Structure 1
Amino acid sequence: MNTDKNNKLTRIGVFYDGNYFLHVSNYYAYVHKRKARISVSGLHDYIRHKVAEVEGDSSGYRHCQIVDSHYFRGRLNAKDASEKSNSLYYDRLFDDVLMKEGITTHYLPVKTSQSGQKHEKGIDVWLALEAFELAYYKRFNVLVLVASDGDYTPLIRKLNTLGTRVMLMSWDFDYTDDYGNERVTRTSQDLLEVVTYPIAMHEEIDNRVARDSFAVNNLFLPQQKKVERKAKAIPSTHKSEVDSNNDSEGDIGEIMNIQNGYGFIKRPPNNLFFHYQSVNGIDFNDLSVGDKVTYNIQKNDKGDDVAVDVEPIE
């Protein structure tokens, strides 16, 4: 037994691809049967337990400490965020969570292309540069990467030259929405092949044995009852019924159905589909059948009308 090793901390650095982590958290909140978001503090606790397990550290959990953690994500600028009800508020709420856990945040403005689509630019490069530099100077024993993109493969290869062991925490899942669109999330095989400890979190969570463990259950925030919300008021001059031939902005409709991560708004002859990512100013799980909402209409990839910018009204 190496007594010197057992007297030392296993130093852990954690790096989040923030957009990916949000995507995974949304999946468990809206689509997966758990209907709960991932807890950052619970995930950090799980990381410490898992590192102790895979490193074979007989000193256990207490000698495995997260000494540095960083969260990288593109974010809407103030002008764009102000056009989405409560967007800035929810961003600040999550910032509070990250600060409480001692996580350093790194944000870049989301870029808008000529077609009007918004894209993250440079976040993966920034994460890779910071992760390598900090691993070099702080000498992490284990670097934990929460990501799935193959673009991080060169980073892992460089970390391997430092002798830094890398744990990849990733999720694979897929589901089909009501329009028949298959939504798939897969981890890059190239990435899996170069890391020291590939952890398939979807298997850890759904495995029967792991499902009963405290560390896995602690990964999720407790389910909350629906909260009373402050809906936006609509002027009395606003039309009260949806004209099925009018695709102008700010239509009003009634939610007819809520499913796992999507729903439908009444609009004859074909009810309008909407996805949880299209809901503003409220958590998707706080919507109910019969709620009145405003929405705009866009075409999806198949050319069908779908509702976007869905917001509750009084």
Structure 2
Amino acid sequence: MNNGQSLLKIAVIYDGSFFWRISNYYRFTHERQSHLNISALHNYLRHHISALEKDGISTLCQISEAHFFRGRFSLKAVQTTRDPLKQLETDRFQDQVLMWAGVVAHYQPMNEAASPPEERGVDISLALETYDLTVNRQFDVVVLFTGAADFSPLVRKLQSLGTRVMVPVFDLPNYAKTSQRLLEEATYSLPLSEMIDGVVDDEYEDMMGDIFR
């Protein structure tokens, strides 16, 4: 029973390139030597947001949707790489990670004519889909897993709808750093890299170890 209190709906939106850069850092460079576990991360976010908005009653906070946006190479492009099988295995691994965590993947074709190849239309797709979903699903909180300042206008738009935006913070020298401008626009920030390293105490710090697999 929720004692008459309404459920709080959370959406988690992933900038895919940023997420895998972070996850690969913890797998191959950090002492953790493990990828991020998306399901455990969602559970952590749910508990943390419940402490901020629902007096710690985590059953009143639910991850209602999660979406992942990234560019993807064509099969023809993969076949011309030095190790096409490894690339296909990596793509399959990433798809399985998203599938097991219930995350909806949105892929855009890479601009393979550029040198080096680059993502094309991913940021626009993420922003438009996130805004449309928020308008129609009426999320209470959107967790925006990105570090790019370019998404600051999206944060302002979402908050104009009454939706609070949380931005996980990473400061990983030579790998990834969350934009300060993005953080200034967000309702909440969550210093995840500092929590993982034990620099910042948190009410649910015992759960941090679970976000690795």
Q: Quick one: structure 1 residues 199 and 213, their matched pair in 2 at CA, closer, same or farther if it must change by over 3 Å? A: closer
**Structure 1 residue 86: deviation in Å?**
2.6
3-state secondary structure, aligned to 1:111: coil
3-state secondary structure, aligned to 2:208: helix
Aligned-partner residue type, residue 91 of structure 1: D
Instruction: Give the number of equivalent residue pairs.
Output: 208
Aligned-partner residue type, residue 159 of structure 2: N
**Structure 1 residue 215: deviation in Å?**
1.4
Quote the RMSD (CA, aligned, Å). Answer: 2.0
Q: Quick one: structure 1 residues 53 and 59, their matched pair in 2 at CA, closer, same or farther if it must change by over 3 Å? A: closer
Match of 1:74 in 2: 71
Cα distance in structure 1, aligned partners of 2:68 and 2:43: 17
Cα distance in structure 1, aligned partners of 2:76 and 2:92: 15
Match of 1:250 in 2: none
Aligned-partner residue type, residue 6 of structure 2: K
- Give the one of 45, 58, 80 matched to 1:61: 58
**Structure 1 residue 140: deviation in Å?**
0.5
Give the number of the structure whose residues are more often strand, by fraction. Answer: 1
| Relative contact order, higher structure (CA 8 A, sep 6+) | 2
Match of 1:200 in 2: 191
Aligned pairs for 1:252-291 (under 5 A) are: none
Greater mean alpha carbon deviation, residues 87-96 or residues 203-212: 203-212
Cα distance in structure 1, aligned partners of 2:122 and 2:111: 11
Cα distance in structure 2, aligned partners of 1:15 and 1:87: 24
Q: Given that residues 82 and 88 in structure 1 are in contact (C-alpha distance below 8 angstroms), is that contact kept between their aligned partners in structure 2?
A: no
Match of 1:104 in 2: 104
Cα distance in structure 1, aligned partners of 2:176 and 2:52: 26
Aligned-partner residue type, residue 58 of structure 2: Y
Match of 2:118 in 1: 119
Match of 1:177 in 2: none
Deviation string, structure 1 residues 165-208 (Cα, Å, up to 9, x no partner) = 0011131111xxxxxxxx25221111110100011211111125
Match of 1:17 in 2: 15
Q: Given that residues 6 and 58 in structure 1 are in contact (C-alpha distance below 8 angstroms), is that contact kept between their aligned partners in structure 2?
A: no
Match of 1:163 in 2: 162
Which stretches in structure 1 are left out of the alignment for 5+ residues?
Answer: 175-182, 222-314
With the length of structure 1 as denominator, give the TM-score of the two structures: 0.63
Cα distance in structure 1, aligned partners of 2:72 and 2:121: 12
Give the number of the structure whose residues are more often helix, by fraction. Answer: 2
Aligned pairs for 1:86-105 (under 5 A) are: 86-105=86-105
Cα distance in structure 2, aligned partners of 1:119 and 1:163: 34
Match of 1:142 in 2: 141
Match of 2:85 in 1: 85
3-state secondary structure, aligned to 1:106: strand
Q: Runs of 4+ in structure 1 displaced over 6 angstroms?
A: none
Aligned-partner residue type, residue 210 of structure 2: N
- Structure with higher Rg: it is 1
Aligned-partner residue type, residue 58 of structure 1: D
Q: Quick one: structure 1 residues 15 and 65, their matched pair in 2 at CA, closer, same or farther if it must change by over 3 Å? A: same
3-state secondary structure, aligned to 1:29: helix
With the length of structure 2 as denominator, give the TM-score of the two structures: 0.91
Which stretches in structure 2 are left out of the alignment for 5+ residues?
Answer: none
3-state secondary structure, aligned to 2:85: coil
Greater mean alpha carbon deviation, residues 210-219 or residues 19-28: 210-219
Deviation string, structure 1 residues 106-159 (Cα, Å, up to 9, x no partner) = 001111245x31101111111011111111111101011000000000000101
Aligned-partner residue type, residue 220 of structure 1: F
Aligned pairs for 1:212-231 (under 5 A) are: 213-221=205-213
Q: Given that residues 48 and 61 in structure 1 are in contact (C-alpha distance below 8 angstroms), is that contact kept between their aligned partners in structure 2?
A: yes
